[in-house]
Amino acid sequence: MPELMDRDRNIALLIDADNASPDHLDEVLLVLGELGAINVRRAYGNWSKPALKGWGQLTTQHSIQPIQQFDVVKGKSATDMRMVIDAMDMLYRGGLEGLGIMSSDSDFLPLAQRIREAGIPVYGFGTAKTPISFQNSCTRFFDVAALAQNGEQTDAAANEARAADDSLLELLGAAWKQSKRDGEGFASLSEVGQRAKAVQSFSVRNYGARSLSELVRGMPEFQVRETDGGGLLVRRVR
C-alpha cells in the first residue's frame, strides 16, 4: 500500500560530495521530492579538489548550497563532522520533518540514529556497497544505482529481478507470517509492509516499484486481493 506523504513536509538534503557521485543526483531529488519539500539543500566538501568538479554545475542548477570544508589534516576529511553539526543545529532549531543523507559512509550511522530518536525520518542514498549498519539505521535506504537502472528496465525484467531476490522474499514472507491473517491466510498488505519496514530499512524503489502493492503483485510467491472497502490483502502461495 502506498505510503501517504505530506508534500509540504520540511526536508533537508545533506550531500557528502566526497562520498557521493553527482551522476545520481537527479534520482535522489526525484525520490526525496515525493516525500516532502526539499527546502534545505547542501553539498559538503573541499571544492578545491579536482574530484569534486562534477558537482560544480549541479549545485547551481539544482539550487544546492556548496559548503566549503578544508582538509585540516592531509588525507583526512572534516566533511563528515561539519554535516553532523549542521544536522544537529537543524534538529535543535526545530521544524525539521525529514533528513536526506546522500553518502555511502558508515560514519553517519550515529547521526541517523539520533535523528530517528527524535521521531524524524532519515532517508539514506548510497551505493549497494554501503555498510548494512548505516542502511538499517535509516528509515529508508535507497540504492542510487538501482534507482537509475530501474527507470530503464522493462516491467518484465523488473518483475523477474524481484522474484529472484531471495532476501526480499524472506523479508516479506516473515512479515506475512507475523501479521494477523484470516481463515484463508490473507493478511493486510499495510500491516505486512509495516512489519517489513520495522525489521530493516526497506524501500520498494530499490526493486523498481513505486508502491508495495506493485512490488508484491510482481512476485509469483504472493497473491493480492482487494477488499470491498478498497483495501488490499496478501497471502503467500508458494
Phi and psi at residue 132, in whole multiples of 5°?
-60, -25
Rounded Cα gap, residues 106 and 113, in angstroms:
12
Report the topology of domain 155-236.
Answer: Nucleotidyltransferase; domain 5 (3.30.420)
Question: 71 near 41, Cβ under 8 Å?
Answer: no
User: Which residue ranges make up each domain of the chain?
Assistant: 10-150, 155-236
What sign has the CA pseudo-torsion 196, 198, 200, 205? Answer: positive
Q: What's the confidence (pLDDT) of residue 94?
A: 92
Q: What's the confidence (pLDDT) of residue 202?
A: 66
Mind listing the pLDDT tens digit of every residue in the chain (238 residues)? 334 455 578 999 999 998 898 988 988 998 888 888 999 999 998 888 888 888 887 888 888 999 988 776 555 567 888 999 999 999 999 999 999 999 999 999 999 999 999 999 999 999 989 999 999 999 989 998 888 776 554 444 445 444 446 778 888 888 898 889 998 999 999 888 888 876 666 677 767 777 888 888 888 889 999 888 878 899 998 8
Please give the CATH number for the structural domain made up of 10-150. 3.40.50.1010
Closest CA to 22 of 59, 48, 63, 47: 59
Q: What's the confidence (pLDDT) of residue 131?
A: 92
Q: What's the confidence (pLDDT) of residue 96?
A: 94
Q: Which uninterrupted H or E stretch holds 192? A: helix 189-199
Rounded Cα gap, residues 22 and 24, in angstroms:
5
